[in-house]
Structure 1
Amino acid sequence: MNKRLGYSLAAALLAVTLLGNEASALSYKSTQRPIEIILDGQKIKFHDSRPVVSTSGTTYVPIRVVSEQLGAKVTWDARQGKAVIAKGDSRIELTESSKQAMVNGTIVALDAPMVVQNGRTLVPLRFVSEALQVEVKFDDKSYYIFMKSDQYDESAKYDPYGRKIRTTNLPKNAQDFPYILEDIPNEMYEMELFYDPFFKNSFKDVLKTQKHYMLRLDNVNAWKAKIEKYYSLILNANYENIDFNWAKEAHSFLNILGTDEDLRSYVNWVKSNKIQLEGSLVAEPSIFYHGGDTFRMRTKFKFKIKNFNKYENLIYDSSFHLTKNDNGNLPEYQKDVWYEGIADIRLSSTIGGAVYTPKLQVSGTTSLFRGNALIRKSE
């Protein structure tokens, strides 16, 4: 299932954002699906700046986050626009916008240069990792990049994706899950599952759902992809470049009767109200269950509202206006403030026999704000 990182992702990148000057512009899709990087079985945590995939298929990452995760030291010469990454006997010199690098005193050609975007230095992940003798592979189904260094623990247990399982500091309800991941906080597990009281007898918890004989990993990956692609559009709506193609693409991931007229109305509202959002959502495939009415997959999301004129319907979600849900009060969202949360996203289909198949779609009535969702300001 794993493939080399060098496989092109460009086919998925249809809309483009250009940043920086002509010489160092990084061209990428602003609404692209988030990509997760797994180092020795654990996700690398990114804060203000996440990995992005350029239109040429190169994965860029913040230099300090990844290099220091690999045990390397980074120094930056602002005057020359040069970065030096050093680890043991390995030394890499990169210059902004240059397609040449110096590796241990030897000039090496680059497929993609180092770039500086909004004050942050981004480097091509594959080149830097392999120069530091770290194995890199890309799983295009789960959208995980796996990195394996000399610190990889062969004796540890890993889940079907290759993520490290922990056996200590477990959540109080650990027995309700097939395993507990090292890099997922207890809060993500301890948040109560949603169930519809009208369909209580149909409720299946995570263990029962995942033991079903029809459940296939490829199908779970397909549902994960639809959720992440849909919310990559929703959480990055931007009056400067949104159009009806945005509505058409978002509609393609939804299980909803009728046309994309409602989404088109939102597009017009984004433009007239000058709405500008930035965010991402990552679905956790190991926390998947049946709430009695439909399937649900737990997700973690982050967003900020960069601009608007009127505080109304800023996010395409019928419950955005809520001030309270089952978990308590919800915030009134401020401009340029990051918020983070956990939500169980509904999956459903109007097609008979679609249960446990890739045909499940994001439910048209799902919400980031309703029910058992948790939302707070980012720390």
Structure 2
Amino acid sequence: MKKWMGASLAAIMLFGLVAGISNAAATAPTFVSVVMDGYKIWFPDAQAFVDDNNRTLVPVRFVAEKMKAKVGWESKTMTVPIERDSQQILLTVGSSKALVNGEEVTFDTKAIMQKERTFVPLRFVSEVLGADVKWDASISTVFITTKEDAVAKYDEWGRLIRTTDLPKNATDYPYILADVPNEMYEMKRPHSHPDPAESKVASELYTSIPEFKKENIDIWMERLKSFGAVWLNADYRTIDYSWADELFVNKVQLNGSELKYIKRYVDWVKENQIQMEGFLDPEPSMIYDDGFGGYHVRSKFRIKFNGFKKNEKLVYDTWFPDDLQLEKSIWYEGYTDVYLSTNVGGNWGKTLRVDPQASLFRNYIMKKAG
């Protein structure tokens, strides 16, 4: 008998992406966003990422379920049964073949099991479930389309725009997204210049600053994703100084002094036996100029600490709260403003990087994930 339970399925995208890093740094899994019919999918645990073989892996159970499919798991046979309309699909871990209504479909890579999750090829999404799938390497995003809506309006990043139930400060933004809650829009702003005329909200930046064009913003968002993939993922059993190199390469480098502090954190991860996993997903339409020369990108994050000895300085962050008590093996989620800056004048569009003072905890909201 089939058991329709919470077995997670994922898709190995047949597109590659490797974040640019220093030669000394080991490649961290790049966080990948998934947008389906204009809505970004927030996965509760296993996140989309690029593996060591340049394959993009995406949790797809939620995609299949959003397409009205039932996803199951048979532990004895290591198979994943899927039902959608009249389709009967059977995937087997370790096999590059699937059965669709009794007919064999072959892919060019095998379904695998990792961290108790099943991963299968992207062609499963496009050829078996019938969705249109596109990959935007510039922003590490997979776009899945199951239906066309000629009336709806979308932003430059394929996100659906809404015009109802708007946040109180809706005019601060160029538009309001259908998949972003008002809580994220209405969160207080970072510390700003005392003269209000010196700071600028996102709607002003997009209309008055030449550097605010998609080409540049894509670069900033990709750097933030790459930074977050290192910043929020550390394991004392495997970490070394290449982790510090990789984190440092996405930051503004006024000099090399910060690198020694990052290496001290690496030592602390080993001493405190820290194990954490997480991701940072920046929102390009939510950038704020604080008036001091810094730009703050509002981002969603999820983080989980699987182990540590002391509840101290668990993240490389000068603003880590001394009184913050975090439970082990619990996913936390929230929003934060990540500080970006540059030491280049004139046309600085491509040079914006994570500022040395960037913090997950300076201006944030965090709670246990539901």
TM-score range, shorter chain: 0.7 to 0.9
**What is the RMSD of the two structures over their aligned residues, measured on CA atoms?**
2.3
After superposition, give the CA deviation of every residue in 1:331-359 in whole Å (9 maximum; x if it has no partner): 4212222222211111111223253x110
Residue 341 (structure 2) aligned to one of 338, 348, 351:
348
**Alignment gaps of 5+ in structure 2:** 1-12
The letter of the residue matching 2:67 is: L
CA distance in structure 2 between the partners assigned to 1:227 and 1:10 by the alignment? 14
CA distance in structure 2 between the partners assigned to 1:199 and 1:98 by the alignment? 63
Match of 1:245 in 2: 242
Match of 2:93 in 1: 96
Please state if 1:301 is matched with 2:298: no
Match of 1:153 in 2: 149
Please state if 1:366 is matched with 2:358: yes
Aligned to 1:197, what secondary structure does the other structure show?
coil
Query: What is the CA distance between 1:118 and its match in structure 2?
Result: 3.1
Match of 1:21 in 2: none
Aligned to 2:328, what secondary structure does the other structure show?
coil
**Which shifted more, 171-180 or 5-14?**
5-14
Query: What is the CA distance between 1:36 and its match in structure 2?
Result: 1.1
- Asked whether the equivalents of residues 82 and 93 of structure 1 are also in contact (C-alpha less than 8 Å), the reply is yes
Query: What is the CA distance between 1:246 and its match in structure 2?
Result: 1.0
CA distance in structure 2 between the partners assigned to 1:132 and 1:14 by the alignment? 39
After superposition, give the CA deviation of every residue in 1:295-346 in whole Å (9 maximum; x if it has no partner): 11111111122212223222100011344xxxxxxx4212222222211111
Match of 2:279 in 1: 280
Residue 8 (structure 1) aligned to one of 16, 33, 46:
16
The letter of the residue matching 1:272 is: E
Match of 2:9 in 1: none
Query: What is the CA distance between 1:366 and its match in structure 2?
Result: 1.2
After superposition, give the CA deviation of every residue in 1:18-52 in whole Å (9 maximum; x if it has no partner): xxxxxxxxxx96x3222111111111221022223
Matches within 5 A, 1:73-112: 73-112=70-109
The letter of the residue matching 2:367 is: R
After superposition, give the CA deviation of every residue in 1:108-137 in whole Å (9 maximum; x if it has no partner): 222222223333333333323331111100
Match of 2:291 in 1: 292
Residue 164 (structure 1) aligned to one of 150, 160, 163:
160
The letter of the residue matching 2:127 is: E
The letter of the residue matching 1:186 is: N
Q: TM-score, normalised by structure 2?
A: 0.88
Query: What is the CA distance between 1:175 and its match in structure 2?
Result: 2.1
Stretches of 4+ aligned residues off by more than 6 angstroms:
11-15
Query: What is the CA distance between 1:77 and its match in structure 2?
Result: 2.7
Kindly tell me: are residues 10 and 317 of structure 1, through their superposed partners in 2, closer, same or farther at Cα, counting changes over 3 Å?
A: closer
- Asked whether the equivalents of residues 298 and 337 of structure 2 are also in contact (C-alpha less than 8 Å), the reply is yes
After superposition, give the CA deviation of every residue in 1:227-249 in whole Å (9 maximum; x if it has no partner): 12112111101111111111111
Aligned to 1:175, what secondary structure does the other structure show?
helix
CA distance in structure 2 between the partners assigned to 1:199 and 1:268 by the alignment? 42
CA distance in structure 1 between the partners assigned to 2:199 and 2:154 by the alignment? 28
CA distance in structure 2 between the partners assigned to 1:74 and 1:373 by the alignment? 35
Please state if 1:265 is matched with 2:261: no
Match of 1:209 in 2: 205
Query: What is the CA distance between 1:210 and its match in structure 2?
Result: 1.0
Aligned to 1:67, what secondary structure does the other structure show?
helix
Match of 1:125 in 2: 122
Match of 2:54 in 1: 57
Query: What is the CA distance between 1:81 and its match in structure 2?
Result: 1.6
**Which shifted more, 272-281 or 302-311?**
302-311
CA distance in structure 1 between the partners assigned to 2:319 and 2:347 by the alignment? 27
- Asked whether the equivalents of residues 100 and 109 of structure 1 are also in contact (C-alpha less than 8 Å), the reply is yes
Aligned to 2:242, what secondary structure does the other structure show?
helix
Kindly tell me: are residues 252 and 201 of structure 1, through their superposed partners in 2, closer, same or farther at Cα, counting changes over 3 Å?
A: same
**Alignment gaps of 5+ in structure 1:** 16-27, 324-330
Aligned to 2:73, what secondary structure does the other structure show?
strand
The letter of the residue matching 1:216 is: K
CA distance in structure 2 between the partners assigned to 1:237 and 1:221 by the alignment? 26
Residue 333 (structure 1) aligned to one of 326, 345, 349:
326
Residue 178 (structure 1) aligned to one of 174, 177, 182:
174
CA distance in structure 2 between the partners assigned to 1:103 and 1:56 by the alignment? 27
- Asked whether the equivalents of residues 19 and 30 of structure 2 are also in contact (C-alpha less than 8 Å), the reply is no
Query: What is the CA distance between 1:10 and its match in structure 2?
Result: 5.6
CA distance in structure 2 between the partners assigned to 1:109 and 1:88 by the alignment? 22
Query: What is the CA distance between 1:208 and its match in structure 2?
Result: 0.6
- Asked whether the equivalents of residues 322 and 369 of structure 1 are also in contact (C-alpha less than 8 Å), the reply is no
CA distance in structure 1 between the partners assigned to 2:310 and 2:134 by the alignment? 45
- Asked whether the equivalents of residues 63 and 121 of structure 1 are also in contact (C-alpha less than 8 Å), the reply is no
The letter of the residue matching 1:77 is: E
Query: What is the CA distance between 1:63 and its match in structure 2?
Result: 4.5
Aligned to 1:71, what secondary structure does the other structure show?
coil
